[in-house]
Amino acid sequence: MATTDPRRRVPRTDAVLADPLLADLQSSLGRDRVRDVVREVQDQVRRGDLAPEDVVAAVRDDLRRRVRHTQVLNATGVVLHTNLGRAQLAPAAVEALVASAGCTDVELDLVTGVRARRGRRALDALGRAVPAAGGALVVNNGAAALSLVLTTLAQGREVLVSRGEMVEIGDGFRLPDLIESTGVRLREVGTTNRTRLADYAGAVTERTAAILKVHPSNFRVEGFTSEATVAELAGLSRDTGLSLVVDIGSGLLQPDALLPDEPDADTALRAGATLVTCSGDKLLGGPQAGIVLGAADEVERVRRHPLQRAFRADKLTLAALAATLGSATTPTYEAVHVPEGELRTRAEDLGRRLAAPVVPSVGRVGGGSAPGLDLPGWAVVLPEPYAERLRLGSPAVVARVEGGRTLLDVRCLPTERLDEVTAAVLAARDHLADAGGSSGA
């Protein structure tokens, strides 16, 4: 009877800690931290949830999950998937991150040995990418950029904004709450579906400091609608002496023919916007960042505000952003613009490897960009139980579950990653077969 006691099957703590597979983790994390996890995993064996021979692997996997994010292959068909970190960085940006992990000249001129403009490479690159911008500033995210700009221009005063642009930006955060937390009062004009220039003009008082135009990037209002253009609002801005702030959201710096309804920074500034704000980790294809573009004196005014210090971008963000802007292309651009025929070829290749059918699939830009825009593509079909097993694999593969099927949309799976996807699916197939689940493709 004693031989069936699960406690007798638990590997000894000192034996587990002596395993060479845990040597590097003990060196980097410390023996005490590794020992704590070993004891937690031993408890799983005692409960019968884990085989004794799997203890070392489970400890290693657990520790890795605790100290770093899990690598994920995006098979959802959504290019800028917020839950997966939005934009995938270009190789040059990844190299820049690694190079900047140590000491770097982020704020030092190595020639003169004196202090230099912080993040000057990223700022210069933004100037080249958006010629209409006389100045640029980088902060830690898009919400910070908008908050900092409005705090600088209008703290204690009013900002006019259309009711149709009072958006929720995700995870329950609403634009009115965000802005009013900075001491700026929002004055709504117009209606949800129709706001005219006269609505803004009629709301201007001595308390008004600025006009705000927000691109409602995560939804569309169709039918009986109208809105004042940036050019029209710029005329009102000049006539009244008010600043015009345009939040384009997605980070598109120049017009893109594939995204005709998505505003871009250069066009907004040429139309008369005082300042434009946007994100760096959406259509720009870079790291999470908030970008402020506009007239040099106005940008400098924002930069000198004391709150800017709290929102300042770190050296890694600045390095990755500069490298992104200097790259010929980005994974985001390629995933959005890849021809449908190429996607079909890619899907059929994966389908042959897995002996699985291929079907048309509709992708999305995601990340609150280009709502309603269909991106025609192709996907490999697997039974629904594969979705969970693939998420738990290494690397994890996140697919789309639709109509009782698991769809591996290949839009964000370049050809060079198909070997990894194939291995992940075959491993999932073996696991499901061993567990008695549905493994047939």
The pTM for the full model equals 0.87
pLDDT at 147 over 50: yes
**CATH class for the domain made up of 72-85+332-434:** alpha beta
Which tokens is 233 given? Answer: 């609002």
Please give the radius of gyration of the chain, using alpha carbons only, rounded to the nearest integer.
26
Confidence grade of residue 172 (pLDDT, cut at 50, 70, 90): low
Confidence grade of residue 3 (pLDDT, cut at 50, 70, 90): low
pLDDT at 2 over 50: no
Give residue limits of the domains in the chain. Answer: 2-67, 72-85+332-434, 91-327
Distances (CA, A) of 333 to 93, 97, 263, 281, 339: 14, 20, 16, 12, 12
Top mean-pLDDT range of 216-225, 248-257, 366-375: 248-257
The Cα diameter of the chain in Å comes to 91
pLDDT at 40 over 50: yes
| Residues 6+ positions from 232 with CB-CB distance below 8 Å | 197
Which tokens is 3 given? Answer: 């031989």
First vs last C-alpha separation in the chain: 43
Top mean-pLDDT range of 28-42, 107-121, 189-203: 107-121
More confident residue, 241 or 9: 241
Nearest to 143 by CA among 115, 121, 117, 171: 171
pLDDT at 316 over 80: yes
Instruction: Decide if 162 contacts 309 (C-beta within 8 A).
Output: no
91-327 domain in CATH 3.30.450.20?
no
Compute the distance between CA of residue 367 and CA of residue 369 in angstroms, rounded to an integer.
5
pLDDT at 289 over 90: yes
Residue 221: per-residue pLDDT: 58
Confidence grade of residue 114 (pLDDT, cut at 50, 70, 90): very high
For residue 294, the Cα-to-chain-centroid distance in whole angstroms is 24
Which tokens is 166 given? Answer: 């009072």
Compute the distance between CA of residue 82 and CA of residue 183 in angstroms, rounded to an integer.
29
Same fold for the domain at 72-85+332-434 and the one at 91-327?
no
Distances (CA, A) of 348 to 319, 380, 407: 38, 8, 13
pLDDT at 217 over 80: no
Top mean-pLDDT range of 32-36, 124-128, 372-376: 124-128
Instruction: Decide if 39 contacts 13 (C-beta within 8 A).
Output: yes
Which pairing describes strands 185-189 and 158-162: parallel, antiparallel, or unpaired? parallel
Lowest mean pLDDT of 46-55, 77-86, 214-223, 374-383, name the range: 214-223
